[in-house]
Chains A and B, each alone.
Chain A
Amino acid sequence: MNEKQMISGSEILIRSLIREGTDMIFGYPGGAIMPVYDALMNHTDSIDHVLVRHEQGATHAAQGYARASGKVGVCLVTGGPGATNTITGIADAMLDSTPIVVIAGQITTDLIGTDAFQEVDFTCVTQPISKWSYQISCPEEISRVVARAFFVAKSGRPGPVVLSVTKNAQVGMAEYIHEKVSFIRSYDDDPEIDMDAIEAAADAINHAQRPFVLAGQGIELGNAQEEFRTFVEKADLPFGCTLLGLSVLPSSHRLNKGMLGMHGNLCNNVKTNECDVLVAVGMRFDDRVTGNVDTYARQARIIHLDIDASEINKNVHADIPVLGDCRKTLKLITERLLPANHGKWISSFAQYDREEYEKVVSKELHPKEGPLNMGEVVDAVSRACGAGAVLVTDVGQNQMMAARYFRFSEKRSIITSGGMGTMGFGVPAGIGAAFGRPDRKVCVFTGDGGLQMTIQEFGTIMERRVPVKIILLNNNYLGNVRQWQELFFHKRYSFTRLDNPDFQILSSAYGIPSKRVIDRKDLMPAVEEMMAEDGPFFLEACVAEEGNVMPMIPPGGTVDNMLMEC
Chain B
Amino acid sequence: MEQTALYTIIVHSENFSGILNQVAAVFTRLQVNIESLNVSASSLPNVHKFTICCRTTEKNIEKILKQTVKKLDVISAACYTDKEIFSSEIAMYKISTNVFDDSESLSRLLREYNTHVVEVTPEYIVVELTGSGEDITELREKLQELGCIRQFVRSGRIAVTASNAEKVSELMEKREQIGNKRQL
Contacts and interface: CB of A to CB of B under 8 A. Distances in A.
Contacts of B172: 185
Interface stretch (B13-21, B101-109, B141-149): B13-21
Contact of A183 (B21, B67, B178): B178
Contacts of B179: 183, 185
A183 B182 contact: yes
Interface stretch (A122-130, A413-421, A458-466): A122-130
B118 interface: no
Contacts of B70: 308-310
A127 B74 CA distance: 14
Tell me which of B72, B73, B175, B176 has the highest count of chain A C-beta atoms within 10 A of its own C-beta.
Answer: B72
Contacts of A183: 178-179, 182-183
A131 B72 contact: yes
Interface string B66-104: 110110111100000000000000000000000000000
B176 A185 contact: yes
Interface string B146-184: 000000000000000000000000001001101100110
A127 B18 contact: yes
B72 A132 contact: yes
Given A127-B22, A182-B182, A183-B179, A152 B67 contact: no
B25 interface: yes
Name, among A131, A132, A310, A313, the residue most crowded by chain B CB atoms within 10 Å (CB to CB). Answer: A310
B73 A186 contact: yes
Nearest to B72: A132
Interface size class on chain B is 20 to 34
Nearest to A135: B18
A495 interface: no
B13 A186 contact: yes
Given A123-B18, A127-B21, A183-B179, A314 B63 contact: yes
A184 B72 contact: yes
Contacts of B69: 309-310
A368 to B, nearest CB: 52
A186 B25 contact: no
A184 B14 CA distance: 11
Given A128-B25, A310-B67, A313-B62, A186 B74 contact: yes
A187 interface: yes
A313 B179 CA distance: 29
Interface in A157-183: 182-183
Contacts of B18: 123-124, 127
A169 to B, nearest CB: 16
B172 to A, nearest CB: 7
B66 A185 contact: no
Interface in B1-39: 13-14, 18, 21-22, 25, 29
Contact of B75 (A131, A132, A152, A186): A186
Nearest to A186: B75
Nearest to A123: B18
Interface string A307-333: 011101110000000000000000000
Contacts of A127: 18, 21-22, 25
A1 B149 CA distance: 70
Contacts of A310: 63, 66-67, 69-70
B32 to A, nearest CB: 15
Given A127-B25, A183-B179, A185-B172, 20 more contacts: A123-B18, A124-B18, A127-B18, A128-B22, A182-B183, A184-B72, A185-B75, A185-B175, A185-B176, A186-B73, A186-B74, A186-B175, A187-B72, A308-B70, A309-B66, A310-B63, A310-B66, A310-B67, A312-B66, A313-B62
Interface of B: 13-14, 18, 21-22, 25, 29, 62-63, 66-67, 69-70, 72-75, 172, 175-176, 178-179, 182-183
Interface of A: 123-124, 127-128, 131-132, 152, 182-188, 308-310, 312-314
12 contacts: A127-B18, A127-B21, A127-B25, A182-B182, A185-B75, A185-B179, A186-B73, A186-B74, A187-B73, A310-B66, A310-B69, A310-B70
